[in-house]
Structure 1
Amino acid sequence: MKRIGKWKDRLAAYVDGTSGEKLDQGVICRDDQCTLGKWIYGEGLAQTGNLPTFHQVKAKHAEFHVNAGQVVEAVQSGHQDNAHKMLHEGSFAKSSRDV
């Protein structure tokens, strides 16, 4: 998904210190604020909430947001190396492939 790729680019710039953005871990970890999340908790739930695949997508999407929040938290705690690892080969990398 294009939006996932954009998130990865934004987080990479944040981890590298080249982003001027102030990212809020408390917002990023929420899975109901982005376009997909709003669909999942609204129209998607109403139209396809009875399907097992819907719940799989919902869970993978939530995991993606938790992992994105952990990357931001690592940077804000001064652990850029750990954030870089999560972003490129760890939990965020895996969850971004799964969504």
Structure 2
Amino acid sequence: MDLDTALAAHSDWKVNLRIAISSQKTLDASRIASDCQCDFGRWLKGDGRVAHASSPSFKLCDTSHTEFHRCAGKIAEMINRKDFAGAAEQLEAGTPFSRASQSVALAIRRLKNEILQPA
């Protein structure tokens, strides 16, 4: 798994949600809320778990990734209800989404550093 790609993909969600707000586009909120629909999530639930399940960094990645998608899914639901102002507010600093985004980014970086360190 290319963890840099995973990091970039999850960083892009804020932009993607802002685009959906500005274009008033309907989203698949249940898919967004699922932590096993993206490549990184499938890796976390599959090969990544096999290789790194005992790692504290992996466990942090798994839990923070789940929370990230839960928060993103809630924003997608707001967009679908046409609560565009509320959805935009949820993308601001200090919100659950913002904290989850920071947490998953930090967790991915920690896991990457741990994996790259020689045993």
TM-score, normalised to structure 2's length?
A: 0.75
- CA RMSD, Structure 1 to Structure 2 (Å): 1.4
Unaligned runs of 5+ in 1: none
Aligned to 2:78: 74
Deviation per CA, 1:24-53: give whole Å up to 9, x if none: 011110001101101100111000111222
Aligned residues: 97
Q: Choose the corresponding residue for 1:26, options 1, 24, 30.
A: 30
Write the distance in 1 (CA, Å) between the matches of 2:87 and 2:99.
14
Aligned to 2:107: none
Residues 27, 79 of structure 2: 8 Å contact kept? no
SS of corresponding position for 2:57: helix
4+ residue segments displaced more than 6 Å: none
Unaligned runs of 5+ in 2: 1-6, 105-119
Sequence identity, in percent?
Answer: 28
Is the aligned partner of 1:11 residue 2:17? Answer: yes
